[in-house]
Chain A
Amino acid sequence: MNRRKFLGLVGATAAVAAAGTSAHAAGNTHFTGHPEANAVLFDATECIGCRKCEDACNKVNELPKPDKPFDDLTVLDTKRRTTEKIYTVVNKYENSKNPNLPVFRKNQCNHCQEPACASACFVKAFKKTPEGAVVYDESLCVGCRYCMIACPWSIPAYEYDEPLTPRVMKCTMCHPRILEGKLPGCVEICPKEALKFGKRDELIKFARNRIEAYPDRYLDHIYGENEMGGTNWLYISGVPFGELGLEEGLGVTSAPELTSGALAAVPVVTGLWPVLLTGLYAIHKTREKIEKKEKDDAVSAALTKAASEAEAKLSSELEKADVANKRKIEVEVKKAVEEALLPKDDDDAPEEEA
């Protein structure tokens, strides 16, 4: 792989990662919900636990018939949750204000303004509609069930016994009916008007007015107004919401905001890491090169030194040899001269002396 190809690949990875962050909901704008969104307000002081809403939900959504009929109120004695066959349940709770009068609370999908399930879904099978409902598209669902992990109220249920085409099941707020201009099944049937359907903004105003008008009857809190960024199912109650099995202390941070920090790290890593790592690689590679060069230089220096030393030695040897040779020659010459002169030695001596 050449450098250009590699950079291209890194760029592509970064682009994918950047695309991954542009879509998440928690940007620098505060999302306050779709302006025209509908909502349902549940009044716990009105609910009598008749289970009519469960019945209507079952019919409207064509869900399988339950083991016990909907007019059997003994089911209320055990705590139940929503399942793949039951989109809504009414549970009975002890009333801390008035022990003789139990309170009831209807449970179903709360249709978050910024849904945890939609934020968690890696195939966008969940969608928040502008009309208020959070709807599910089974044609995309892979069945990972991360939506069930993510939902703060543990609402989505799963068809565990379905081998080939399991679905995630939950209340749809009767979205198809809303589009037709009808009320959700449960709202329509409620005999006590414990459920009220309308525009979310208006319902919040209505709930506030009611709380103000009957301060002894209600706690001063609309559950769902801000919880987890706000929901399109709202609750008012005379007893603390925790006693109604509604999680308290969820905070007002929406699910997408909870994970936005981690997602924001993606471009940092894709941007920073390759640069840093390539830099580190370059540093150690350069260090290796420098070390090698230093070694080579040292070797060649040593060689040069050795060579020049050898040369010096040679020349000095040569010089010495030269001197020695000269001397030898001189000696030889002398010898020869001496030898040549030797026979005349006797004659010469006097001459020399002379």
Chain B
Amino acid sequence: MSAENTTGRSALTPFTIVAGIIVIIGLILTGLRFMGGLGAVTNLDNNNPWGIWISFDLLCGVALAAGGYTTTAACYLFGIKRYHSAVRPALITAFLGYALVVFALHYDLGRPLRLPYPIFVSQGTSSLLFEVGLCVFIYLSVLFVEFTPIAFEWLGMKKLRNIVHGWTIPLTVMGVVLSTMHQSSLGALYLIAPNKLHPLWYSTYLPLFFFISSMFAGMSMVLFESSLAHKNFHHLMDETHKAESEGVALGFAKACSWIMMGYIGIKFLGIALENKWAWLGTGYGMWFLVELVGFVLMPAISYAIGYRDRNFGLIKITALWTVLGIVLNRFNVSQVAFNWKLPAAERYFPSMAEIGISIFVVTIGILAYRFIVTRMPVFYEHPDYKGEH
């Protein structure tokens, strides 16, 4: 990738070759999936109806795209103006993240063409999945509108850009409201199955856990993504972006550290309230502690140290660490601790094709991200709109 930084436009780089191969494999798997049904490509069965397309593409995808609402809220609603240069990269990540969630859902649904049914044909309002679907649908629209000024600036459509730019505050408020609801509802999906989810992960607080963890998930993803962007797209960034990025890193590291500490607190509150201490002594208890201590408490401390010492290397590593922790948590809830009573032979493990589709989806995201940031004013201010916050 470093070669392409200097050459800029050459088409055949190691990156594009690998991406091309993944896309071709992805298209083949897509064909297999829609010709032969879910059974042809997945290891799903009647006991395990949800595999990694839900665990990774949906649950992790939505959590990691939470940077959109956290960053815009910090900048516009809480008035932390020095985060402004982080807003556009976060919005791009969120918009692409949600778009890919919806895209990936087409693979998992038995009848993907009926995706609009819950909203437009028959509303199952008692379902938490309905809430998730409705919120994701509206929020994706909100993110799209929030994204359009970037495209309008690129296309030179000043009038439209200025109109949409005026909607910033209401859109941000809607973004936070919708995110609160669907982030928490993803956790609440599992409230209906108390006998299938392990007691350490099952809690009436599940919606709260998912919502709070989405905050530090989103911010960590912004930090992680920005550290990658600084490596690959540094030449695109203007002075404001470069000057502000350290402040963003410090601010987010501090915020994450606090929120993660609070998260650990209510996690234990959940254990205490439902008196599940005894479970901590079991094998699943060890795994629970690995998740909570190894992937929440330790990164929280690491963030705090990174903030205190202004150690940006440590903050970057911690961001990745936290992102992995979120992925671990979502997998634990939806796979590892789910169906825990089933004998090992009846448990699910993803097939190569399922993993392949997930990699394909992520690759499409990276390609779309590159397309946007190399063309549109994301890391820099468009000269026509300088200083218009």
Contacts from A to B (Cβ < 8 Å): 1, 5-6, 9-10, 13, 16-17, 19-25, 81-84, 116, 118-125, 140-146, 148-150, 152, 154, 156-166, 247, 249-251, 255-256, 258-259, 261-263, 265-266, 269-270, 273-274, 277-278, 280-281, 284-285, 287-288
Contacts and interface: CB of A to CB of B under 8 A. Distances in A.
Minimum-distance CB pairs A-B, first 5? A143-B110, A160-B39, A284-B79, A262-B188, A145-B49
A123 B121 contact: yes
Contacts of A165: 111
A145 B46 CA distance: 9
A145 B39 contact: no
Contacts of B117: 123, 140, 142
A158 B110 contact: yes
Interface residues of B, number: 68
Interface in B155-207: 166-167, 169-174, 176-178, 180-181, 184-185, 188-196, 204, 207
B114 A142 contact: yes
B179 to A, nearest CB: 10
A9 B38 CA distance: 39
Nearest to A116: B192
10 contacts: A1-B166, A1-B167, A6-B167, A81-B47, A120-B128, A123-B114, A160-B38, A160-B44, A255-B192, A263-B126
A20 B42 contact: no
Given A142-B117, A166-B111, A9 B170 contact: yes
B191 A160 contact: no
B174 A10 contact: yes
A13 B131 contact: no
Contact of A146 (B45, B127, B170): B127
A266 to B, nearest CB: 6
B166 A262 contact: no
State the main secondary structure of chain B at its contact with A.
helix
A230 B45 CA distance: 27
Contacts of B176: 273, 277
B73 interface: yes
Contacts of A21: 125
B127 A119 contact: yes
A142 B44 contact: no
Contacts, number: 208
A60 to B, nearest CB: 21
B367 interface: no
A9 B122 contact: no
Contact of B174 (A13, A144, A148, A261): A13
Interface of B: 34-40, 42, 44-47, 49-50, 73, 76-79, 108-112, 114-115, 117-118, 121-131, 133-134, 138, 166-167, 169-174, 176-178, 180-181, 184-185, 188-196, 204, 207
A157 B38 CA distance: 13
Contacts of B128: 120, 259, 262-263
A283 to B, nearest CB: 9
B49 A158 contact: yes
B363 to A, nearest CB: 24
B46 A163 contact: no
A265 B38 contact: no
Given A83-B46, A247-B195, A161 B126 contact: no
Contact of B194 (A82, A157, A258): A258
A295 to B, nearest CB: 16
A281 B39 CA distance: 51
A290 to B, nearest CB: 13
Contact of A142 (B45, B110, B126, B195): B110
Contacts of A287: 79
B192 A149 contact: yes
Contacts of A154: 46-47, 196
Contact of A261 (B77, B166, B193, B204): B204
B111 A19 contact: no
Nearest to B34: A163
A352 B130 CA distance: 120
Contacts of A259: 126, 128, 188, 191-192
B271 to A, nearest CB: 19
Contacts of B191: 258-259, 261-262
A124 B122 contact: yes
Contacts of B194: 250-251, 258
A23 B125 contact: yes
A161 B39 contact: yes
Given A161-B39, A162-B37, A145 B110 contact: yes
